[in-house]
């Protein structure tokens, strides 16, 4: 029954019953997905290995299992390899830190800027329970979008570096989709939600 499928995690389902979508074809990535129902077109609900945050995960994305690292509930890092609908590929690196505090955001942004090796200005989107800082630039055949998401209710922060491969012939596609990509990536960063367990957790 459909209801059973909705309530069953993809990792517990028979692979033959899963949607024929790249994200479900990878056994490791499947473990993080909460249902086979799209949360919005092209995205599925993801819960991190730490249980500390959720986000919309792209249908064309796969987590690099060999590079995945987790230290209990305190730290998590992994790459996501994405096959985009426009025929390009992207690589996203995500790092979660449980101890990051709101009052130290400036130093986290400085650290991210240093990692990028670029002088950038971060724009801020203030949410109810988290703040999103983002920037973007182009260079060496890649379009780079970087972001930092800070939990405002408890400690916790996430650094994101999103590189879209725009080398050679792909440059024309990237230029054509530049504004759409930027809006989509910012929307995706905003989809990150920390799991704050102050209230009833069920």
| pTM of the predicted protein model | 0.91
59, 145 Cβ separation under 8 angstroms: no
* Residue 134, domain CATH: 3.40.1000.10
Contacts of 37 (CB under 8 A, 6+ apart): 6, 44, 45
Dihedrals phi, psi of 111, to nearest 5 degrees: -65, -40
Is residue 143 assigned to a domain? yes
Report residue 153 CA to chain centroid gap: 20
Q: What is the pLDDT along the chain (202 residues), one digit of tens a residue?
A: 344 455 688 888 877 788 889 999 999 999 999 999 999 999 999 999 999 999 999 999 999 999 999 998 899 999 999 999 999 999 999 999 999 999 999 999 999 999 999 999 999 999 999 999 999 999 999 999 999 999 999 999 999 999 999 999 999 999 999 999 999 999 999 999 999 876 443 3
Instruction: Find residue 187's DSSP bridge partners.
Output: none
Contacts of 2 (CB under 8 A, 6+ apart): none
pLDDT score of 11: 81
81, 61 Cβ separation under 8 angstroms: yes
Q: Alpha carbon of 188 to those of 78, 100, 141, 160, 192: distances in Å?
A: 17, 21, 23, 11, 7
Nearest CA among 36, 33, 40, 15 for reference residue 25: 15
Is residue 199 assigned to a domain? no
Query: Could you give the number of structural domains in the chain?
Result: 1
Instruction: Find residue 136's DSSP bridge partners.
Output: 145
pLDDT score of 10: 87
Is residue 42 assigned to a domain? yes
Dihedrals phi, psi of 168, to nearest 5 degrees: 60, -130
Is residue 172 assigned to a domain? yes
pLDDT score of 109: 98
- Domain enclosing residue 169, as ranges: 2-194
Is residue 129 assigned to a domain? yes
Q: What is the rounded distance in angstroms from the CA atom of residue 81 to the CA atom of residue 194?
A: 23
Is residue 201 assigned to a domain? no
Is residue 6 assigned to a domain? yes
């Amino acid at each position: 029954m459909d209801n059973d499928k909705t309530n069953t995690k993809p990792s517990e389902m028979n692979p033959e019953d899963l949607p024929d979508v790249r994200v479900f074809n990878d056994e490791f990535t499947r473990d993080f997905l909460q249902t086979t129902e799209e949360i919005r077109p092209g995205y599925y609900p993801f819960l991190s290995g730490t249980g500390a945050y959720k986000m919309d995960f792209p249908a064309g994305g796969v987590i690099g299992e060999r590079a995945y690292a987790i230290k209990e509930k305190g730290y998590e890092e992994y790459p996501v390899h994405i096959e985009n609908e426009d025929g390009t590929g992207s690589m996203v690196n995500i790092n979660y830190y449980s101890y990051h505090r709101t009052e130290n955001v400036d130093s986290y942004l400085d650290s991210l800027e240093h990692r990028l090796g670029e002088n950038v200005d971060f724009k801020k989107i203030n949410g109810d329970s988290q703040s999103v800082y983002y920037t973007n630039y182009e260079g060496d055949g890649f379009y780079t979008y970087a972001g930092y998401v800070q939990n405002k209710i408890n400690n916790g922060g996430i650094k994101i570096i999103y590189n879209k491969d725009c080398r050679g012939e792909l440059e024309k596609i990237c230029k054509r989709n530049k504004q759409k990509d930027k809006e989509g990536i910012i929307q995706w960063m905003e989809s990150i939600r920390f799991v704050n367990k102050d209230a009833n957790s069920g």
